[in-house]
Structure 1
Amino acid sequence: MQLSLGSILFFWERQQVQDFYQSMVEQPLDIIYLGESVCSKRRELKTQEWIDLGRELAAKGKQVVLSSLALIEAESELKTLRRLCDNGELMVEANDMGAVQALSERGLPFVAGSAINIYNAHTLKTLHRAGLKRWVMPVELSGETLADILSDAQAMGFGDGVETEVFSYGYLPLAYSARCFTARARNLPKDNCQFVCLEYPEGLPLASQEAQAMFTINGIQTLSGQAYNLLPEVEEMKRMGVDIVRLSPQHGQMAEVIAQFRGAIDGSGNQIPTIPADAVNGYWYKNAGLVNTYRD
């Protein structure tokens, strides 16, 4: 089983991004995803700079995948997508069906991100025929559903040709909108957002009237209000046939998170979900997403 680091979902300063990846290249990660998957206005690093950074990390021994936008709305965004697809070296994570089409037309293998609605083995087979090499399970699916999909894929004769990746730590990407909720919270229009997402490097918390953490607002993206943590489920995922465990970049504690998951994968670590203490895992158990099976 391999360990991956997803693309940064939040909007971070340029130097912070560069420092983060310089530290991550020293970590026991097998795969690193790079690029902007949320909002095309986030241009601290330009498209070519993401590609150059990817080549640099690949030269240091990491498998690098470039992530595409999950919501494409303009010709300029299609142009960026084409540049990613035509980089000539690095695999691309398709986060919408436009990217799937662009990569398939070029005959390129690709990763289907969690924003692609793959809910059964028939859909997975269709995309496999189009060039899918790896898929990231939609975050709202349960472990039981995943087991059924993988079993059906084997029965349909293509299971061994597809890698399965599971989002296992971090704020869950739940939804995308044409509107920017962070700008709206500051009474700004989306077209003149003043890049206020930079002021919320961990997103903007949204609580219920009872002060319960519900969601995290991240520009046009809605994330879970609490971090998802499947550390205790690593052994189950191994038995199920999951190939890759994905961690989502967070502030300040990634080395600790990586160490705990690496230990769980290698069988040498503590699998008690201690990071963070209020993490959730409800979706994995066919429950409400904000449930923590070990706490509630």
Structure 2
Amino acid sequence: MLKLSLGPVLTYWARETLFEFYQVIAESAVDIVYIGETVCSRRHEMRLDDWLDVADLLAANGKEVVLSSQALIESNSELGALRKLVANGRFGVEANDVGAVHCLDGAPYVAGPHLNIYNPPALATYARTGARRWVMPLELGRAQLLGMRAGMAAGMETEVFAFGRMPLAFSARCFTARKLNLPKDDCRFSCMEHPDGLLLNTREGQPFLVLNGIQTQSASVHNLVAELADMRGIGVDVARISPQSSGTADIIAAFDLARRGAIDTAEARRRIAPHLVGAECNGYWFGEPGIALHRTVAEAA
């Protein structure tokens, strides 16, 4: 059966909120849970020991737990934190930066979506360094995935980002702090006030992007719940759901029912619709602009 994963929380939540959230997730239908701070090292609500406590809770409930590394390493202190994460000795690691791959030194790991793996030779290179699963870059689609699978190493698992606001880019500048005319080093942790990110509209008032500290996300919500059967058919192993501040458990439940064929795709989308924090999109999967809402493979057949 196609597995479901829950990606790391990308926005900044309070420590108590995170512990309460993962207590709910521990009872959910997801098979794999990625945890850790992937965006900004200034987010200090959770230390490594706290994340390991969360990992123990999840593992005790039968989840595969993976510690996700930060995607943009800029300082010696961040490098030191990365080395501690890699050396945890208990849980697997998702490498979101080439530096993490080097620190892993051949140990098995998950190649995260920010490693820019866009062709079979690149994927083969990461496989030789220990990658056992790769998360397809968000802007690749079904056709490109089929091309990648043609030369994939035996045993390599494929994971597809299937739900959530898409993490698109990172910058050394903190956009949330800049919006408030604050310097990055004195940001007052202002992104915590926006648990699903800070919406950025065009001059015409149309939702465009979401600011999440140094990360830029899509304003629209990528939703491939209608493509789960097709994913399974073409060899996808894991579908990833990205957490949001509300409704995540219900979204997971809808995906679980859909993957098991207990409800059809129309019902799955109906159950998810009240929890969308932005307009729905799925364009990248179909080779279209990501913001597009395209017909499903089943509808197009």
Q: TM-score, normalised by structure 1?
A: 0.95
Determine which of 256, 262, 271 is the counterpart of 1:268. 262
Deviation at 1:52, TM superposition (A): 2.5
Partner Cα distance (1:175, 1:259) in 2: 29
Deviation at 1:59, TM superposition (A): 2.1
Who is 1:289 aligned against?
290
Matched, 1:250 2:249: no
**Residue ranges of structure 2 left out of the alignment (5+ in a row):** 297-301
Whole-angstrom distance in 1 between the partners of 2:204 and 2:264: 34
Equivalence map 1:60-209=2 (5 Å): 60-103=61-104, 105=105, 107-153=106-152, 158=153, 160-209=154-203
User: Is residue 7–residue 67 contact of structure 1 (8 Å, CA) maintained in 2?
Assistant: yes
Q: Which position in structure 2 is the counterpart of 1:223?
A: 217
Find the aligned partners of 1:23 and 1:259 in 2 and give their Cα distance: 12
Hey, which bits of structure 1, 4+ residues long, moved more than 6 A? Answer: none
SS of 1:291's equivalent in the other structure is: coil
Moved more, 130-139 or 277-286: 277-286
Counterparts of 1:13 and 1:260, CA distance in 2: 27
Partner of 2:36: 35
Does the 8 A contact of 2:26 with 2:57 survive in 1? Answer: no
In 1, Cα distance between equivalents of 2:83 and 2:235:
33
Q: Which residue of 2 aligns with 1:48?
A: 49
Contact 1:169 1:229 in 2 (8 A): yes
In the TM superposition, residue 252 of structure 1 has moved relative to its aligned partner by 1.5
Q: What TM-score do the two structures reach when normalised by structure 2?
A: 0.93
**Deviation per CA, 1:68-103, whole angstroms, max 9, x where unpaired?**
000000010111111111111100000010001111
C-alpha distance in structure 1 between counterparts of 2:32 and 2:74, whole Å: 29
CA contact (8 A) 1:168 1:231 kept: yes
Percent of residue pairs bearing the same amino acid type: 48
Shift of 1:152: 2.5
Aligned length, in residue pairs: 288
CA distance in structure 1 between the partners assigned to 2:204 and 2:3 by the alignment: 40
Q: State the distance in 1 between where 2:38 and 2:288 align.
A: 27
Q: Which consecutive residues of structure 1, in runs of 5 or more, have no partner in the other structure?
A: none
